[in-house]
Amino acid sequence: MFPAPVTQPCSCMDRKIFPSGEGLRKGISSALPSWQEHFSPGTERFQTMKEVLMKLPCRIGPFNACPGYNWKIHAALLAPLTLALALVVLRHGWWGEDVRQYYLASREALPALWPAVQLFSDMAAPVIYALYLIVLAFSLVPAGVSASPGVTARRAEGRMLICRLVLFGFLLVFLTTGFFKFAFGMPRPGELWPPHFFTLDYSYHSFPSGHTTEIVAAVLPLAFFFRKKIVYIALALFIALVGYSRIWLGWHHPVDILGGMLWGGLIARVICCSPCSDTAPEPPNPVPFHGKSLSEPPLENTSIKKRSKEQA
């Protein structure tokens, strides 16, 4: 299990400070049974510690996302767009001239609708960021104003949400999505095949949809922050309308919207920092070291007392 003892230690090590290979091997061998006794997955102490830690509310910070992420709500928020994509794909397919010609005819039949849809598609992201500014304004209210524990916690959550949006959201959405467009070089509707890999030509920056990626990545954390059913429904429909508008306007193929939805969903998971404390039970009396709580006195170190008696 362990390598052979090292008979010649490295010359750069001071043997008075660093143990030889044999000493290090003996130290690890003597410590291993104690470690396995206390922290092996099969032990009672390990299971007790695991249960307590799983029940503790997650710590909110700019670099640690909540482990209790609700994937069911995540899927529900993307369900309307998924359904719209499924209907388009079943009728026209993921890619090709058929879907482009169909929506071109639709735009020509409804010329007054075209500018309105274009305006909605372009202004969707600024509207969401305006909501984030409202969250930021709420979060920056001085602590003395309505400083109940619940309000204070919500303000801290809002500040961390904005922090994570800046740290991860903008970085991942704009840099990675732009790189994917540049690398894949997929043609937009109406452009000729094949793809132009690693191109700066905007006509070959179709996959994935940048608007869809940005909206999904920004809207999902916002929905988790408000945690209201009416907000879930409104934002789910908002995502679906933005994604579908990119197809209707002729800017993207259905597969581009799917790629943007999936990639934006992963970015949203990174951004999201909503706490688990609203669903997790209250933690028991901490902390299960030595099988006792902190309110009880710790176990005496019998080995130290025995050694002191022998020396006496």
| Cis upstream peptide for 194 (omega within 30°) | yes
Whole-number pLDDT of residue 153? 80
Cβ(239)–Cβ(80) below 8 Å: yes
| Cα 47 versus chain centre, distance | 27
Alpha helix (H) residue ranges in the chain: 21-39, 44-55, 71-92, 97-109, 113-139, 149-164, 170, 177-184, 210-226, 229-248, 254-271, 302-311
In the structure encoding, which two tokens stand for residue 85, read together?
């994509």
Give the span between the Cα atoms of 212 and 227, in whole angstroms.
Answer: 22
* Residues 141-166: tens digit of each pLDDT: 776 655 677 777 888 888 888 888 88
The model's confidence at residue 298, banded by pLDDT at 50, 70 and 90, is very low
- State the average pLDDT over residues 209-232: 94
Which residues sit opposite 61 in a β-bridge?
64
Helix (H, G, I), strand (E, B) or coil at 201: coil
pTM over 0.85: no
Query: What is the residue whose two structure tokens read 């993307």?
Result: 78
Give the span between the Cα atoms of 27 and 20, in whole angstroms.
Answer: 11
- State the average pLDDT over residues 57-76: 67
